[in-house]
A and B are shown apart, each in its own frame.
Chain A
Amino acid sequence: MNKKVLALVLAIVMMLSFAACGGNGGDTTTAAGDTTAAGETTAAEDATAEAGESDLAYIQNKGEMVIGYTLFAPMNYEDDNGELTGFETEFAKAVCKELGVTPKFQLIVWDSKETELKSKSIDCIWNGMTINDDLEKNLSISTPYMANKQVLIVKKENADKYLKAEDMKNANIVAEKGSAGERTAQTNEFFAGANYTAVEDQQTALMEVFGNKADGCVVDYVLSIGMIGEGTSYEDLVVVDSLAFEPEQYGIAFRKGSDVTAKVNEAITKLVESGELQKIAEKYKLAEQIIAK
């Protein structure tokens, strides 16, 4: 009983920390950060101790795996018919087929992803999630399957203007606050001469460049593929191809101690061997980013 009371108190503390760092709506790639407060692990262990030995059975009994995602092209997005598609969507469907369960895609709020997972509202986070130490400590992460990097995005007419560190002198650069892009813009020598401003999210960063308020923005490469160019509001934005910063890797997250992770890893290997994963990636111009073996 005492443990439950403690857990309730901790849960409320955790909720408060959520409230405190809410508002990063569009953030899809930054770390969970301070939401993983020290006390939270107690509640987490509580949940996973029970989930641990039975997670696979739990999912197989249900016959479905609830996949938490946020919309972020080209990973998960809706086509013109409103059908959910994208690299991760097709990848997840293929893995679920291997596991013999039905995928059920559940749109979530990225800030709440760990809570969604622990409260069993979803069974995995599968959404171009960048692996980091915090996540690895608190969740069970699949083998990395895709590489990503931070890139510089500028207006088409400036594509050749920013190639060397000297070009960045007095240029106005924006990035999402707390993101890998921000870290790059602030610490990478390339941006030493530039003026940096933090903005709310990646979309705002793009909007700033689009609206000529900034000369360039440092964003997530995979994200930028779907958000700029033809058919979007940012038709005249381009990636500076010759530059790449902060390599990172994507993984799928399950409940801590879950036995689903190993099963999914097996399935991924199968899909790599059959060439199916490569085929899906090619469809979304992501073939070069695949690292799963």
Chain B
Amino acid sequence: MRRAYFKNNWVAALMVAPQLLIIFIFFYWPTSQALYWAFTLEQPWGGGNTWVGFDNFSAILTDDLYWYSVQVSVIYAIGSTVLAVGMALILAVFVDRQLRGFKAYKIGMIWPYAIAAPAVGLAFRFIFNPGAGIMLYINQVFPGLWDPISNGNHAMAMVVIAGAWKQVAYNFIFFLAGLQSIPRSLLEAGAMDGARVLRRMRDIQLPLLTPTFFFVLVINITDSFTDSFGIVDTMTGGGPARATNLMVFKIFNDGFQGLDYSGAAAQSIILTILVVSLTFVQFRYIERKVHYT
């Protein structure tokens, strides 16, 4: 195969430079600043800082409530990913089978991803309001069944559902594309051999969907750690009693609201390491089981 390449490396460098510059300014530079702050005590209004070595990290890592925040984030990540991936898969299979009205339904499914997280949060806050609407009726029949104001588990469930709802749309697109790229002839051959719908799904469609599945899993887990801020901020503000104080929300709260720049910087370094290592683990161990056709 013939490969096209630049004879002059300088031209190539010039072409990539704008992109590299953007990445440097908006990613590497802030990250290096955060790294520096994580080892100092930074005064918010400038005016100097003190080098404290690993003090910020040891303060965070010995803090029970930080670990609680990690635990809560993991629960959120697992909960919203399982829900979002599961729902998206079911919906995509339905659309792929071209059930009645699937075209309208396909467009409707894609919309939620275009909605900003805070708007999702506000909408779900309204839906799950225990004192109004549908939840009020349920609470009147079964008193105390739904109480996200003081019950942390309920609040967490509420945030997980809202987060998953937003993510379903994204997953749906990928699953649908994955399903549609499976050659019809395979399914038809299966059908002629007497395999019924569920059998064909289990033995043909799902195995062929594993690359998509893996991609969606990585994106969902990463996203749930880093992009959950808007929903938590509008729905629960991290409460009640820190039950939904996800790591990314805690960073915002400590750093920007509490002006503890150093503590927040150290936390974001830890979060970065966590997300990177999670993704690494996924690629290292789960990807082995994925077969790209």
A binds B: no
Which residues of B line the A interface, CB within 8 A?
none
